[in-house]
Every structure is written in structure tokens, then in C-alpha cells.
Amino acid sequence: MAKVEFKPGNMLYPLPAVLVSVADQQGNDNLFTVAWTGTVCSDPAMVSISVRPERYSYHMIRETGEFVINLTTEKLAYATDFCGVRSGRDIDKWKELGLTKLASKVVKAPRLLESPVNIECKVEQVIPLGTHDLFLARVVAVSVDDAYMDERGTFHLESAKPIVYSHGTYFTMGEPLGKFGFSVKKKK
């Protein structure tokens, strides 16, 4: 097997493709797609998103210090792509796509009702990185769709059919290969 060398770049794929909802101080809101997002700490629960300063939603996050990460699914694939290629400067994406705003529990930005998981965030730090600024944020509330809860109170995100983004393409998740620790579990 041979390796082909690429120029240094972002080849950490797949990534979650999420819809981020934001609002400004005047009550305007928007929904936009972010693939550069991730978990950065479990205690306290923190996440990050990277956003270009010229994006319409950027000023809303800077102004309020808040946003909501809404996980995406197969059913939301079209909306996920649409919200990444259309600007909120030109169109009301919520209305155009028939998506439902739901008041958040802690932040002013709305949650996306159609998303199986909504992660409300408050920005703790903004780090300018070049083409993007990284918003490092504390998770202040999480809500999940009860349709994916079982009788024991376990949440089954896999049943929602989440999607990921890999080098310009959206994909569904594949079959499970094993649960955490399966490689060291003693055989019966």
C-alpha cells in the first residue's frame, strides 16, 4: 500500500453537519449549517464551532454570545444543505423550509423542533484563527426528542438517522461495530 501526499489541510472527516440557530438583540434570527464543530470538554460540558466573520450569523453570535447546535438527520439533509448555501441576509430559511422555531430553555436563540437534539450554548471565548473564528462555548441546556427515548429512559440517537459531512458530501451513519470497551471485554 502506498501513500499519496496532500498539501496540509483539513482532512479530519467525517464531521457532524449541524444546524446552528442564532438571534440578535433586535429579535432577528437565522439558521445556518456548520460542519466545523466539536466537543472540547465533558466537565464542564463545552463545545466549539468555527464561523467565518463574513457569515450573516457571525454578528449575531458576537452580539449575544449565544447559539443553539441542532443535530441533523436524514429528514433534515435537504435543509442542512440549503442552510449552508443560502444566506439569511436574503431569505427567511425557517419559513422557506417550513421549519419550526421552538423557544429555548436558557438562551434567546430558538431551537429547531425537527432536530432530535438541541444543545444550547453560551460563548466563553472567541479565538480568531484566520479564515474562521472559533467560538468556545459552555453547554447550558440540552433537550432531546422524546420519540427516541425508550421505556428505561435511554436516548437512541441512532434511531433518528443522524447524518455526517465528509469532504463535500453528506452521509448517513453506518452499522454499529461495537460499544465502547468492546475490544477489551472478556468473552463469555
- Is residue 55 included in any domain, yes or no? yes
Average pLDDT for 103-127: 98
Span 18-32, pLDDT tens digits: 999 999 999 999 999
- Is residue 9 included in any domain, yes or no? no
- Is residue 177 included in any domain, yes or no? no
For a pLDDT cut of 90, what percent of the chain falls above it?
Answer: 85
- Is residue 53 included in any domain, yes or no? yes
Kindly give, in sequence order, each residue whose CB lies less than 8 Å from that of residue 131, ignoring residues fewer than 6 positions away: 52
pLDDT higher than 80, residue 68: yes
- Is residue 5 included in any domain, yes or no? no
- Mean residue pLDDT of the chain comes to 95
pLDDT higher than 80, residue 122: yes
E strands in the chain: 15-16, 18-23, 29-34, 37-42, 45-51, 66-70, 101-102, 111-112, 117-128, 133-144, 163-166, 169-172
- Is residue 10 included in any domain, yes or no? no
Higher-pLDDT residue of 5, 117: 117
* Model pLDDT, residue 7: 87
Number of domains in the chain: 1
Span 155-182, pLDDT tens digits: 999 999 999 999 899 999 888 888 888 8
* Model pLDDT, residue 142: 98
For residue 156, the domain's CATH number is: 2.30.110.10
Residue-range definition of the domain harbouring residue 161: 15-172
- Is residue 106 included in any domain, yes or no? yes
* Model pLDDT, residue 94: 98
